[in-house]
Amino acid sequence: NPNRMWGGRYALGPAEIMEKINASIDFDRRLYAQDIAGSMAHADMLVAQGILTAKDGRAIKRGLAQIRAEIESGKFRFSTKLEDIHFNVEARLTDLIGPAGGRLHTARSRNDQVALDVRLWVRDTIDRLENMLRDLQSALIDRAEEYAATIMPGFTHLQTAQPITFGHHLLAYVEMVGRDRGRLRDCRARMNVSPLGAAALAGSPHPIDPRKTAKALGFDGPMANSLDAVSDRDYVVEFLGAASLAAVHLSRLAEEIVIWCSAPFRFIALSDAFTTGSSIMPQKRNPDAAELIRGKVGRIVGAFVALCTIMKGLPLTYGKDMQEDKEPLFDAADALELCIGAMTGMIRDLKANPERMRAVASADYSVATDLADWLVREIGLPFRQAHHVTGVLVGKAAAKGIDLDKLSLDEMQAVEPRITAAVYGVLTVEASVAARKSIGGTAPANVARAVKEARRRFLGP
């Protein structure tokens, strides 16, 4: 029979183009380990329930173990004619062990099987990515400790706003990555239920025990509704949502690295290991990894949009449309894994240029707010009025092309007679950052403490 999969009803094989659009083996072979683990748990359950003999169960597990070894050693011959990973494994199993191989699919459909495989794959991927994000946090925290007192300009609108510390800036990303990890964990907790037992869509007439397979595969339990079990891809969408936001965060940091590396900024430098040269301009050191992280967010967010679009019009339950979940999922996970790894490498690699950062932080009247705050604190001006007085003083200094602390006391008192020489004490970038000791503020003392806290909160005891 030309059709090994559903030969009973079919006399003829599929059109070539039908085979081509239908086959998923080129990408879903990636699920082989999950598929085989699921089949082993299913076989054990069938034996325990008396649906399969112990002898058949043993033959099936032996065959599956051999198939896994064949795949891992590159000896397995995948066939497009056999459509997907499920049929490829099952066909080989029957070749290996005979008719017992055909009993494995009792009380199961590819619908609950694929739902299981993808779930297991997403769960493994979440664990791996969360671990990598933890490593990224560890790198950021180490560098934050090193640069706890390194002054740089803080920006709003990419305009110099107030002096901050580089360590504080890096710790902001530690918080963002911490939320990304939390979102992945939330997704994992919600998705950790087993679809096995739903079979095609309605459940099974065999005396199966889905609690057994769920437990064996590390799930909290079986899914409550068989229709939901085979048609739910929420976990893929949630994972891609969490991945998108993580990628957005990495992209923002990547953009900052690109800016900081640029000649007009020169805040940081990356080593040879994380830059590339130009084929024509000998002087170039381009931060390609940062640019690629910024670029790859497109395919990750694209995958999220693709999944939402695939699912939005699907009636219950399974539709072949859902086969389209895998390529975007795999691609996005691969891209995110690369991005996290490359970002961790860059963070460990980068070298700050504290002189340059401090010089830029001191320019453009970055301590103007400190002057206004002094007027509020020391002579009791309402903040609005202090803002106005400071604005006039900044205008005076700017007209003369000098910094605020280069205005003489006479010049200041001409604007506000109650100003004293003590004001000069707050007009340095060091005083500015040191004063910002409020909760979550940028003071070096805070950063040193925040580093310890972050290690405890995110890296464990």
Q: Which is nearer to ligand ARG, 201 or 258 (CB)?
A: 201
Is 370 a binding residue for ligand ARG by CB under 6 A? The answer is: no
Determine contact, residues 27/86, Cβ cutoff 8 Å.
Answer: no
Q: What are phi and psi of 302, to 5 degrees?
A: -60, -40
Residue of 24, 42, 251, 278 with catalytic role: 278
Q: Which one of the spans 123-131, 176-184, 320-328, 347-355 is the region binding ligand ARG (CB under 6 A)?
A: 320-328
Least separation, in Å, of the C-beta of 446 and ligand ARG?
A: 51
Q: Which is nearer to ligand ARG, 267 or 318 (CB)?
A: 318
Q: Which one of the spans 12-20, 108-116, 132-140, 439-447 is the region binding ligand ARG (CB under 6 A)?
A: 108-116
Interface residue with ligand ARG among 39, 111, 162, 344 (CB under 6 A) is: 111
262 is a catalytic site residue: no
Is 88 a binding residue for ligand ARG by CB under 6 A? The answer is: no
Q: Which one of the spans 109-117, 146-154, 206-214, 285-293 is the region binding ligand ARG (CB under 6 A)?
A: 109-117
Residue 156, strand partner residues? 159
For 315, which DSSP code?
Answer: P
278 is a catalytic site residue: yes
Two structure tokens written together for 159: 């305009």
Q: Whose structure tokens read 């002898």?
A: 55
Q: Which is nearer to ligand ARG, 27 or 155 (CB)?
A: 27
Is 114 a binding residue for ligand ARG by CB under 6 A? The answer is: yes
Least separation, in Å, of the C-beta of 57 and ligand ARG?
A: 24
Q: Which is nearer to ligand ARG, 141 or 322 (CB)?
A: 322
Is 322 a binding residue for ligand ARG by CB under 6 A? The answer is: yes
Two structure tokens written together for 17: 């183009």
Q: Which is nearer to ligand ARG, 28 or 370 (CB)?
A: 28
Least separation, in Å, of the C-beta of 182 and ligand ARG?
A: 30
What is the pattern of x (binds ligand ARG, CB under 6 A) and - over residues 28-47? x-------------------
Q: Is 155 helix (H, G, I), strand (E, B) or coil?
A: strand
Q: How far apart are CA 133 and CA 47, in angstroms?
A: 41
Helices (H), 201-325: 210-216, 226-231, 234-261, 288-311
- Beta strand segments in 83-166, E: 151-156, 159-165
Least separation, in Å, of the C-beta of 84 and ligand ARG?
A: 4
Least separation, in Å, of the C-beta of 80 and ligand ARG?
A: 12
Q: Which is nearer to ligand ARG, 24 or 366 (CB)?
A: 24
Least separation, in Å, of the C-beta of 199 and ligand ARG?
A: 11
The burial class, CB within 10 Å (0-12 / 13-18 / 19+), for 22 is middle
Least separation, in Å, of the C-beta of 115 and ligand ARG?
A: 8
Two structure tokens written together for 33: 């380990």
Q: How far apart are CA 4 and CA 82, in angstroms?
A: 8
Q: How far apart are CA 230 and CA 115, in angstroms?
A: 6
**One-letter amino acid for residue 319 of the chain:** G
Interface residue with ligand ARG among 35, 56, 84, 112 (CB under 6 A) is: 84
Sign of the dihedral through C-alpha 144, 145, 147, 148:
positive
CB within 8 Å of 57: residues ≥ 6 apart? 43, 44, 46, 47
Closest Cα to residue 166, out of 291, 255, 257?
Answer: 257
Chain residues binding ligand ARG by CB under 6 A are 24, 28, 84, 110-111, 114, 318, 320, 322-323
Catalytic residue IDs: 157, 278
